Amino acid sequence: MKSSRWSKSIPRIVIALVVLAGAGWGARAIWKQLSPTLFGNKREESVPITKVRTATIAEEIIAVGRLRAVFSTDLKSEINGRIIKIIAADGQRLKRDNEILRLDQQDILTQLQEMERTIEAAKLKTQRARRDHERLLELQKRGVVTSKDMEDSRITLSLSENDHSIAEARAANLRDKLTKTIIRAPHDGTLLLRDLTEGQVITGAAAQNGGTLLGEVADLAQLMIRTNINEIDVARLKVGDVARVRVDAMRSVLMTGRVKRIATSALESGVDRTRVFPVDVVLDDPDERLRPGMSATVMFTLARVENATAVALSAVFSTPEAVRYVFFKKPTGFEVRPVEIGIADTRYVEILTGLQVGDEVARTRPVEFEGELPVPTPPPVVTKSSKKDGGPGAKTGAAPSDAPPPPRRGDRSSSGKSSRGP
């Protein structure tokens, strides 16, 4: 009885298992279509692809700086004082020795008057000492004056003359300070005056803080940009190199300039403590709307290639041994292909060998290449000289199979925004 019941339930169990298996298989197939990244090896469908194309690539150093006059002089007072009158206005054209502002002269005039009285008193004392000394000389001839009296008379006369000379020197110093209460233009140029007010107290240039900066007189006919280039890139620049300049306030205007000076010693950058060299770029034809202090971007073109075989920067990868490679797209998937690269800009890198125009490569690493990659190196090149030296089939002129290719041109780091490849 039991056996007959069991035999009847077996077909029902088998049918139920078949139905469950079919439902599971169908659900798996549907899920694979909805999420190809979880089942099967279909990630390549979502891998972004880019084509190898021809492009114009320019390798550049991009730096920022500020406009300033080629020839300018800071204005500082040589003495402490209080401004009593501002004569010239900001932006005014000046000639040499034109008055800019005046300081209070009252204290100096008072001291000068006192010193003139001191000079008169010293002069009278000197005259009296000289008469006394001459009278003692006459008495000495008669033998009625001792040697000590003569020596005292001579010393008194010398001291009187010395006091008179000291008073004259102090008076001359006060007269010189009096002339320094008037700040004048050191040369022809445009006045760039700071925010000063009459009654303001300023300190002289000899002060510990360097004195109060009153402004500057600048020749705005010639303008330049001073920028800082890091120690890696500065060796690739030279005096006379052409640069392109774009001022932030006039983004639509592109100007040209030339490198006038490259500093011989480095400075330490206040941002990341790297070593930088100041570089001055003089504008060829400055716009009349430009003003000192404006921010500017300077672009130095180091190399330029027209119609270069190029690919997007993100498509080129590198090993720790500096071997560059790409993921070349084939009908059945991707393969690792080593390439030799040239110069690069912010978008493209030049491909010297390994790819052709029209080839497709991956922008990101496909899933089947996760982890360390066994990147093959290009086959060695057989030269005529190597065959002669090493016999038939010798390849002594080629690089060993495990040696990385030579570094590409422009593989470097730069201050600011220097264009570079991977």
Does the pLDDT value for residue 41 go beyond 50? no
pTM, full prediction:
0.58
Q: Are residues 189 and 202 in the same domain?
A: yes
Q: Are residues 283 and 176 in the same domain?
A: no
Q: What mean pLDDT is predicted for residues 149-165?
A: 90
Instruction: For residue 385, give every residue at least 6 positions away whose Cβ sits within 8 Å of its Cβ, in sequence order, or none.
Output: 397
Q: How many domains does the structure of the chain reveal? A: 3
Q: Are residues 186 and 86 in the same domain?
A: yes
For residue 242, what is the domain's CATH number? Answer: 2.40.30.170
The answer to whether the beta carbons of residues 76 and 211 sit under 8 Å apart is yes
Of the pLDDT bands very low, low, confident and very high (cuts 50, 70, 90), residue 281 is very high
Whether residue 138 is contained in a domain is answered as yes
Q: Is the dihedral of CA 21, 23, 24, 26 positive or negative?
A: positive
Q: What is the structure's pLDDT at 256? A: 93
b/e sequence 195-214, b meaning 16+ C-beta within 10 Å: ebeeeeebbeeeeeeebbeb
Domain of 249? 62-70+219-303
Q: What is the structure's pLDDT at 325? A: 92
Q: What is Dmax (Cα atoms) for the chain?
A: 177
Q: What mean pLDDT is predicted for residues 290-308?
A: 90
Instruction: For residue 198, give every residue at least 6 positions away whose Cβ sits within 8 Å of its Cβ, in sequence order, or none.
Output: 83, 84, 85, 86
Q: Are residues 292 and 223 in the same domain?
A: yes
Phi–psi pair at 100, nearest 5 degrees: -110, -50
Structure tokens at 411: 């593989």
The radius of gyration of the chain from alpha carbons, rounded to an integer in Å, stands at 43
Whether residue 312 is contained in a domain is answered as no
Structure tokens at 219: 């020749």
Arithmetic mean of pLDDT over the chain? 81
In this structure, the number of other CB atoms found within 10 A of the CB of residue 95 comes to: 10
DSSP string, 173-186: HHHHHHHTTEEE-S
Q: Are residues 88 and 190 in the same domain?
A: yes
Least confident of 86-90, 311-315, 400-404: 400-404
Does the pLDDT value for residue 42 go beyond 50? no
Q: What mean pLDDT is predicted for residues 209-229?
A: 90
Least confident of 254-258, 367-371, 372-376: 372-376
The answer to whether the beta carbons of residues 66 and 225 sit under 8 Å apart is yes
What is the C-alpha to C-alpha distance for residues 259 and 23, in angstroms, rounded to an integer? 76
Domain boundary among 303, 318, 342: 303
Reported as a single tens digit per residue, the pLDDT across 325-346 is 999 998 888 889 999 999 888 8
Q: Are residues 199 and 239 in the same domain?
A: no
What is the C-alpha to C-alpha distance for residues 8 and 158, in angstroms, rounded to an integer? 148
Reported as a single tens digit per residue, the pLDDT across 161-204 is 999 999 999 999 999 999 999 999 999 999 988 888 999 999 99
Q: Are residues 175 and 199 in the same domain?
A: no
Reported as a single tens digit per residue, the pLDDT across 125-140 is 999 999 988 888 888 8
Reported as a single tens digit per residue, the pLDDT across 372-387 is 666 655 544 444 443 3
Q: Are residues 82 and 204 in the same domain?
A: yes
Least confident of 145-149, 161-165, 246-250, 298-302: 145-149
What is the C-alpha to C-alpha distance for residues 316 and 324, in angstroms, rounded to an integer? 7
Q: What mean pLDDT is predicted for residues 73-88?
A: 92
The answer to whether the beta carbons of residues 224 and 281 sit under 8 Å apart is yes
Reported as a single tens digit per residue, the pLDDT across 283-298 is 998 888 888 889 999 9
Domain boundary among 287, 303, 319: 303
Q: Which residue has the higher pLDDT, 254 or 37?
A: 254
Of the pLDDT bands very low, low, confident and very high (cuts 50, 70, 90), residue 33 is low
What is the C-alpha to C-alpha distance for residues 65 and 245, in angstroms, rounded to an integer? 10
